[in-house]
Amino acid sequence: MITLDKITKKLGARVLFEDVTMTFNPGHRYGLTGPNGAGKSTLLKILMGVEEATSGTVSLPKKVGFLKQSISEFKDKKLIDAVLMGNKRLWAAIEEQNVLYEQEMTDEVGMRLGKLEEIIAEEDGYTAESEAEVLLSGMGIPDDSFQKKMGEVPLDHQFRVLLCQAIFGKPEALLLDEPTNHLDLDSIGWLETFLHEYSGTLIVVSHDRHFLNTVCTDIADIDYETVIIYPGNYDTMIVAKSDIRARTEADNKSKDKKVAQLKEFVAKFGAGTRASQVQSRIREIEKLQPAELKKSNIQRPYIKFIDPSPSGQVAFKVTGISKSYDSHDVIKNFSLEIHRGDKIGVIGNNGRGKTTLLKLLAGITPPDFGTITPGHNLSLGYFPQNHSDLVDKKMTINLVNWIRTRKSDIHEQDIRSALGKLLFSGDEALKEISKLSGGETARLIISSLIINTHNTLILDEPNNHLDLEAVSALGAGLKQFPGTVIVASHDRDLISSVATKIISIEERRIVVFDGTLDEFFNQQN
């Protein structure tokens, strides 16, 4: 059980949430939602003790697992040891035991070793390594990496190890901030199954709508300067929240109308002989004061790609392409025709070649063998997984001027209109590139794609750093776009809403499936 007692957090004059009192119960899996900047990660940090609340207190169980972001402090630890460190009591006992084994055996040392043996047994220490290995395998970490140091394995594997660390040792509560980042579809599926079987208290922040819908029993939504718990998953919360708001607004409108009628009566007869009736109406007016409706902090971008001049019927003709890195074949002898208007979702585990395929199609990387022939009149817009490939974050120019570097023959009014739809209104459009967050950078790139009216879009993990509202808006915009779309993502909701064809990059082959993601998965089962 996790209890918040009158928790308030202010950032300067801005209130994130105020006087929040609530309990998160065991056996419930809470999705912590709200737009970027609402305070989700801040609330998690307060729960972890990493950041202080402005006021109020937090009560936690003794054993809490949380996902750390500080990879560097574990760079010299073996993967298996980094996972074991998730159980602090067990790890401290193992470390002390190893030190004592190096010392001369005395009665005092022997007694202490005996006590440590008890602690290790209580914490299931003699099966701990095998349990840690099961977690690592579930996260897609190869067996031959378990004894390697963290700094010797890929960055995405390091994040997965820290996720294993968080869920190791049977914690009574789990606090997870974006646990699906750096996970492929197989690993996300494994994590969903694990969390379904978890009996403690789970609080998770995620921008993966499908993950929240699959895992969560409740949603704790940060809005209106407070935290409101809705039973059910994310989609259920959206419906309930909208209904409550609509009912309150309708009730207020009805009250306003009634109050206006009562005030008219008071004004008409206030000075007359009907004093008792007037006083009765005044008391009724006081009772009918509309419920206070605080402004929601949710902002929804509007993403609509302008109808472009069409490309030829064949957008890309791919013939026998191969690409290798360090003698490792990533793509081998692959051929495909992509037709105008195709909406293609590219899926596959990390490291299989999704980004490589998209860079080949975008002309960023040349194939070792084979050819890629763009279609007639093809105009290509590319969204890179690594934003710095397109946006130099050291630049001090503002957003309006950066857009001009992408398209010079455009009026400032049109630039500001496109930026405004992506939530850069007013002075926000004059913000320096160097001061953008990851989510803001992603929205800026989308703005540039809209302005340039491409007929073909290639997007590599465009959902990274975007909040749920922005991902939903992007999915709707891509679905309505009349041109060709090729998008790689681990966000199943985005792929499901957009793709009518799937390219699945598997261990020794590339599968092209004519159908939706759900139809593809159904065929696999």
**Confidence label for 295 from pLDDT (cuts 50, 70 and 90):** low
- pLDDT tops 90 at residue 201: yes
Check whether 521 has a pLDDT greater than 90.
no
- The stretches of 4-154 forming alpha helices (DSSP H) are 40-48, 79-84, 88-101, 107-122, 128-138
**Percent of the chain scored above 70 by pLDDT?**
90
Could you tell me which residues come within 8 angstroms of residue 375 by beta carbon, excluding any fewer than 6 positions away?
311, 312, 313, 314, 315, 316, 317, 340
Distances from the Cα of 197 to the Cα of 170, 171, 205, 492, angstroms? 12, 13, 19, 22
Paired strand residues for 374: 316
- Per-residue pLDDT tens for 334-383? 999 999 999 999 998 877 889 999 999 999 999 999 999 999 999 999 99
Does the pLDDT of residue 145 top 80, yes or no? yes
Q: Is residue 449 over pLDDT 90?
A: yes
Structure tokens at 23: 């309990």
Token look-up 């739809």 returns: 421
In 3D, which of 370, 368, 386, 383 has the Cα closest to residue 316? 370
Measure the CA–CA gap between 413 and 101, rounded to whole angstroms.
Answer: 73
pLDDT at position 243 over 70: no
- E strand or H helix that includes residue 188: helix 185-197
What pLDDT does residue 286 have?
67
Q: Is 296 a residue whose pLDDT tops 80?
A: no
Q: What pLDDT is recorded for position 79?
A: 93
pLDDT score, position 297: 58
Give Rg (Cα) of the chain: 28
Residue type, 175: L
Report, as an integer, the average pLDDT of 153-166.
Answer: 87
Mean pLDDT of the chain: 86
Which one, of 190, 128, 198, 215, lies nearest residue 165 by Cα? 128
197 pLDDT higher than 60? yes
pLDDT at 298: 63
Given the DSSP bridges, would you call strands 456-460 and 380-383 parallel, antiparallel or unpaired? Answer: parallel
How deeply is 388 buried, as exposed, middle or buried, from its count of CB atoms within 10 A (0-12, 13-18, 19+)? Answer: exposed
> How many angstroms separate the most distant Cα atoms in the chain?
104
Report whether pLDDT(273) > 60. no
Tell me, what's the pLDDT at 456? 94
Q: What is the pLDDT of residue 151?
A: 87
Predicted pLDDT of residue 23: 93
